[in-house]
């Protein structure tokens, strides 16, 4: 079976056989062009997930929440904040996707939606010249989603099944969205591979080495120029594979701005930290999202330092279930934009 047949089966949702790595997966990797990302000043990241709750009242079931997401208001807030891009979370602790997906439906029905919020968001942002980056988590972390980890094969003996399913999921989305999704931000690498600085693997890997290079190939399906990164943990620069394009850059404070465009491992610098509260997802019912953590001058100084070395900085903003972001955080980013021009 050749690589074209392999991809065709994957995208058709027919399952993927275990194949040896081919030359494009083992040879020297040519990183995608990150010039467009290096020109960005700052962006907005949101963890809008199946666990996100409203400001007040009973949360809607996930599929209804996706239908009710106020896309127009969200994009208006992004523009008001002056952000250069959006990093949107497609799946986090629970494998619940705000879009259709036949592979996920086959593995575990009830985890997808009829509304394609990812595609609609990409189109709405593109109308204003704003790129969409997508965060995705395989959701096999501890017992956050035991039903999913069983369905996807995390607990199975043959880890080729697990890898095949995850690659199939990513390949299908990559083909569907094409150039609409400019980059992938893949999380929880440390739950699939114990080699890095963190080891959160909670299954017997039986000596299996996760095929990161194959996942990168899948992640670039439909758009070879799409950027890929694999998160190794807070402030970690460990590479599970050289086949990625930019640094995940998860940070917990504003203490270490970019000092060059590229890290010593060759990846484009990129940062992402919480602006208003450190738990990433607003899950506490009947509460307001907290005010920003940092004073304006500290945020401005940090981003200015990063931008001086062509390092874009992403701020995770609290978001409610209806799709509206914390107003105080949006306003701080608006002041950030003005401060960078001063």
pLDDT over 60 (residue 146): yes
Q: Where are the alpha helices (DSSP H) in the chain?
A: 3-11, 23-26, 35-38, 62-68, 71-81, 102-107, 117-126, 146-152, 159-177, 212-219, 296-307, 327-341
Condensed to tens digits (0 to 9), the pLDDT of residues 314-327 reads 999 999 999 999 99
Contact status, residue 218 vs residue 163, Cβ threshold 8 Å: no
Edge-to-edge order in the sheet of strand 42-46: 227-230, 181-187, 132-137, 86-91, 42-46, 313-316, 271-274
Distance separating alpha carbons of residues 210 and 70, to the nearest angstrom: 38
Which token pair is 140?
């096999």
Which token pair is 270?
């990129």
- Name the pLDDT band for 309 (thresholds 50, 70, 90): very high
pLDDT over 60 (residue 304): yes
pLDDT at 19: 44
pLDDT over 80 (residue 15): no
- Domain ranges within the chain, ordered by starting residue: 36-341
CATH architecture of the domain 36-341 equals Alpha-Beta Barrel (3.20)
Condensed to tens digits (0 to 9), the pLDDT of residues 116-142 reads 999 999 999 999 999 999 999 999 999
pTM for this model (two decimals): 0.93
Query: For residue 141, how many other CB atoms are within 10 A of its CB?
Result: 20
Distance separating alpha carbons of residues 306 and 304, to the nearest angstrom: 5
How far from chain centre, in Å, is Cα 197?
20
pLDDT at 28: 80
């Amino acid at each position: 079976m050749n690589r074209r047949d392999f991809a065709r089966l994957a995208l058709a949702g027919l399952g993927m056989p275990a194949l040896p790595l081919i030359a494009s997966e083992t040879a020297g990797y040519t990183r995608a062009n990150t010039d467009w990302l290096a020109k960005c000043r700052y962006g907005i990241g949101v963890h809008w997930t199946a666990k996100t709750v409203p400001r007040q009242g009973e949360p809607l079931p996930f599929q209804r929440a996706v239908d009710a997401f106020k896309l127009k208001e969200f994009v208006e807030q992004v523009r008001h904040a002056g952000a250069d891009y959006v990093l949107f979370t497609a799946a986090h602790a629970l494998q619940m996707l705000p879009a259709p997906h036949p592979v996920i439906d086959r593995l575990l029905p009830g985890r997808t939606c009829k509304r394609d919020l990812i595609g609609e968001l990409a189109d709405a942002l593109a109308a204003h010249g704003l790129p969409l980056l997508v965060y995705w988590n395989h959701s096999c972390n501890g017992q956050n989603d035991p039903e999913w980890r069983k369905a996807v094969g995390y607990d199975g003996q043959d880890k080729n099944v697990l890898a095949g399913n995850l690659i199939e999921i990513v390949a299908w989305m990559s083909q569907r969205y094409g150039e609409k999704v400019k980059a992938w931000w893949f999380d929880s690498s440390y739950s699939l591979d114990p080699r890095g600085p963190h080891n959160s693997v909670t299954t017997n890997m039986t000596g299996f080495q996760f095929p990161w290079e194959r996942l990168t190939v899948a992640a670039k399906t439909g758009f070879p120029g799409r950027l890929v990164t694999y998160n190794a943990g807070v402030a970690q620069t460990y590479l599970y594979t050289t086949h990625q394009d930019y640094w995940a850059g998860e940070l917990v404070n504003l203490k270490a701005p970019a000092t060059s465009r590229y890290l010593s491992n060759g990846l484009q610098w990129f940062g992402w930290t919480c602006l208003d509260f450190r738990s990433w997802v607003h899950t506490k019912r009947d509460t307001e999202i907290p005010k920003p953590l940092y004073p304006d001058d500290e945020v401005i100084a940090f981003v200015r330092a990063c931008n001086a070395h062509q390092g874009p900085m992403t701020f995770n903003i609290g978001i409610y279930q209806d799709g509206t972001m914390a107003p105080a955080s949006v306003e701080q980013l608006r002041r950030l934009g003005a401060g960078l021009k001063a």
